[in-house]
Amino acid sequence: MKEKVILAYSGGLDTTVIIPWLKENYDYDVVCVCINVGQGNELDGLEDRAKASGAVKLYIEDVVDEFVDDYVVPCVKAGAVYENKYLLGTSMARPVIAKRLVEIARLENATAICHGATGKGNDQVRFELGIKALAPDLKIIAPWRIWDISSREEEIEYCKDHGIHLPFSADNSYSRDRNLWHISHEGLELEDPANAPDYDHLLVLGVSPEKAPDEGETLTLSFEKGIPTTLNGQSMKVSEIIEKLNALGGQHGVGIVDIVENRVVGMKSRGVYETPGGTILMEAHTALEELILDRDTLAYKKGIGDKFADVVYEGKWFTPLREALQAFVDSTQEYVTGDVKLKLYKGNIIKQGTTSPYSLYNESIASFTTGELYNHKDAEGFINLFGLSLKVRAMKQGGLK
């Protein structure tokens, strides 16, 4: 029997070409594995395409809820945002995909895993770190770092030469990655940072703020221990909440980000991300934490969130550091419970009120009206001590002069 290779299969041109290439160059039986993390209709027709290209088997694995509950939710709790803008849509999905690829490899007794990520991107790092952490004995094959194919035209010609005729064209289009949390866009006019994005051509999940309705829409999200539980009073899974928020946010032009980011491999890359539901969730979670977390914890958690984002972006999910960071974050979420009301309007998310049984906001203290818990006279002694080092320094410098 031939050895087996597990191919991370999307059904696109790149991974379709890889099937005959693997058979020709390694004489493997190719087992395709498509991991469903919420790509929608991109999964249609994959089985016929994989078999027509020479695969012996195709798995379509639905891990949407695992992706959301075990990877997305921890990032929401952490407030993990890479370089102040990117909500980690692609980054969060890669470890759960790597995990399932390894599981199928064990099931099929395969000797290798192959992916179609390019030699310039982050995904090669994320996939391979995940595989190495979970299955260090498996061989990893990355065709884009090996073969001499350099264009879509050459890929299509390679298929034709091997008797594979598929409905792909060589026309230029954006490079996209989609899951339940977001969709990313790269290429075409975006490759020049001087160009404005062609939103009429580009957007998939929603509209630009200019084309959003003139009337806003209000919604209420409820959280328990940092986890979203209800939308507008209706209990549902987190994946269902994200799906509904994607529709609402997209309709109102929410969650469109144009960013030049620093890739792991050292280059800068420009892309546009649509994350309507995720942007709303992150905003609501942040609003709730403002009420509940004390000053020191909130400030320290901000640094932890930034580090968490770096770890996820760099593909280091299956590491002791990520586990330790997540343990800290989870400890901060014990009382992050309450309701957040927001208004969506032309790309904006506007607070409409936040409540929690664990709120540290005390109107008696914060009000301009003097309350029992705060004496204005106490501030004088506090300021004297708080500014003592500044005063001593100024006196010393004045004396030296």
pLDDT per position as a tens digit, 75-95:
999 999 999 999 999 999 999
Q: In what order do the strands lie in the sheet with 348-355?
A: 234-235, 227-231, 217-224, 338-345, 348-355
In the predicted model, is pLDDT for residue 152 greater than 70? yes
- Residue with the bigger pLDDT between 116 and 376: it is 116
Find the mean pLDDT for residues 210-237. Answer: 98
pLDDT band at 40 (very low <50, low <70, confident <90, very high): confident
- Give the pair of three-digit tokens for residue 290: 């403002």
Find the mean pLDDT for residues 36-63. Answer: 90
Annotated binding-site residue numbers for L-aspartate: 118, 122-123
Q: Which residues are catalytic?
A: 14, 94, 123, 175
Q: Residue 9 corresponds to which amino acid?
A: Y
In the predicted model, is pLDDT for residue 263 greater than 90? yes
Res 371: pLDDT: 66
Sign of CA dihedral 38, 44, 46, 49: negative
Find the mean pLDDT for residues 25-41. Answer: 94
CB atoms under 10 Å from CB of 303, counted, come to 9
* Of 88-102, 149-163, 214-228, 246-260, the least confident: 149-163
Q: At which residue do the structure tokens 């939710």 appear?
A: 73
Architecture of domain 176-293+336-355: Alpha-Beta Complex (3.90)
In the predicted model, is pLDDT for residue 226 greater than 70? yes
pLDDT band at 177 (very low <50, low <70, confident <90, very high): very high
pLDDT, tens digit, for every residue of 104-128? 999 999 999 999 999 999 999 999 9
Q: At which residue do the structure tokens 């890359």 appear?
A: 269
Q: Pairing mode, if any, of strands 234-235 and 227-231?
A: antiparallel
* CA angle, 17 then 22 then 23, to 5°: 105
Label residues 42-75 b or e (16+ Cβ within 10 Å = b): beeebbebbeebbbbbbbebebbebbbeebbbbb
Burial class of residue 381 (count of CB atoms within 10 Å of its CB; 0-12, 13-18, 19+): exposed
Tell me, yes or no, if the two domains 4-171 and 176-293+336-355 fold the same way.
Answer: no
> Do the Cβ atoms of 4 and 108 come closer than 8 Å?
yes
> Do the Cβ atoms of 140 and 63 come closer than 8 Å?
no
Res 373: pLDDT: 76
Q: CATH class for domain 4-171?
A: alpha beta
Res 93: pLDDT: 98
User: Residues of the chain with pLDDT > 90: what percent?
Assistant: 85
In the predicted model, is pLDDT for residue 143 greater than 90? yes
DSSP 162-225: TT---S-------EEEE-SS-EEEESGGGGSTTSPP-HHHH-SSS--GGGS-SS-EEEEEEEET
Res 172: pLDDT: 67
Res 401: pLDDT: 58
Find the mean pLDDT for residues 196-206. Answer: 97
> Do the Cβ atoms of 54 and 164 come closer than 8 Å?
yes
* CA angle, 157 then 269 then 99, to 5°: 75
- The domain spans of the chain are 4-171, 176-293+336-355, 369-395
Q: Which of 218, 216, 203 is nearest to 273 (CA)?
A: 203
In the predicted model, is pLDDT for residue 370 greater than 70? no
* CA angle, 45 then 57 then 63, to 5°: 70
Q: Which of 333, 290, 337, 349 is nearest to 74 (CA)?
A: 333
Annotated binding-site residue numbers for ATP: 8-16, 116
HEC string for 255-318? CEEEEEEECCCCCEEEEEEECHHHHHHHHHHHHHHHHHCCHHHHHHHHHHHHHHHHHHHCCCCC
